[in-house]
Structure 1
Amino acid sequence: MATFTEKDLIERLKKHYPQPWIDLKFENPYQLTVATILAAQSTDKKVNQITPIFFKKFPTPQDVAKAHLEEIEEIIKSVNYYKRKAKLIKECCQKVVQEFEGKIPDNMEDILKLPGIGRKTASVILVNAFNIPAIVVDTHVIRVAVSRLKISNGKTPEKIEKDLAKFFSKENWIYISKALVLFGRYICTAKNPKCKECYLVDICPYEKKNL
């Protein structure tokens, strides 16, 4: 398990990402919710090409809820699994309109009631749309937390989330959720991690550093 402190790790991460961001473009919780559903097994770049057209046609969840599936499919057909995603987006927006007065809820329990939203996506929405502490565990975070930095030895996203929630104080969850995703995506990559450029290299226990 990790041999460094939370403070050590965050100080070094902040050299890479003093103000971390999310690559998906959005202006409100509704837009981020749709974008995260579209982003599953697709690239953020591709999603960012589609969403301006989507939100121009469907500015609110109410607009999506009453739209024909074919209209939604036509706009999003360049993403993977677009038929399934169109159905989920429509069902999600219908639920938001029927049960949450047309607003994306701002707590984990209610967000998880929305079709197409799992725990990772719910955490992304809480952190990035509402600035509410949560731990995002995506493929990048799993790689960084388990095989590289060894903060967790969890085999499931749920266990990894619990380990990260213990290691990092709650006041740092928002920062960590954004920074670890970027770090895993751009520095601590799956193939050929950029260890020579990494400010964590001196405390990282990974055995196969790319030096």
Structure 2
Amino acid sequence: MTISDGVGRRPGGRSARVRAAVRAATLSELAEKGYTALTVEGVATRSGVHKTTVYRRWGGIDGLIADALEMASEEPWPIPDTGSAAGDLRALARLVLTGFTEAAEAPVSTAFIAAATQSPAVADALRDFFASRHDQAARIVTRAVARGELPDGTDPAEVVRAAVAPLYYRLFVSREPVDATVADRAADAALAAARAGTLGQVGSG
């Protein structure tokens, strides 16, 4: 998922500093303990923010996770720009894969998915997070259309979904092995579908 700790990214007084500190503590606690062991007390201790403040502002662990996702959705994503649709989609799929396989990121990314299956508030925040990522990744497709690599009317979000969905299926449904080869294959399949015109915008033709 490629989510940073957010510290120093949000200017604006004590309230912003408290929010950033609590967000960083939430991510650290998730990385070390996972969703099921996350506690308000642990976040409060790590952040240096009194637990009554945490409860008052975030309500509980689901509020903490949802807010961390909201902050992440507002941050820029390093969208690949290799000069070709094929290279960009492969790099994008590998970027997503890295968020769930690299030791520094995988525990938090996996915890977000686990939390979303149990909390409607986190599920809503996760949906908004992915919507933001899809909006940013859409540049890959709009550039490809402008270069003539993909047909007019191609739906950018659908191409992005098609490129990364097989990774999520293997990671969280079938539990099959997933690596760079699988990521490349998913990206190539999405590109082929887009070139064939099967990922057009609804009502575009």
Considering the TM-score relative to the shorter chain, is it more than 0.5? no
Structure 2 length-normalised TM = 0.30
TM-score (structure 1 length as normaliser): 0.30
More helix by share: 2
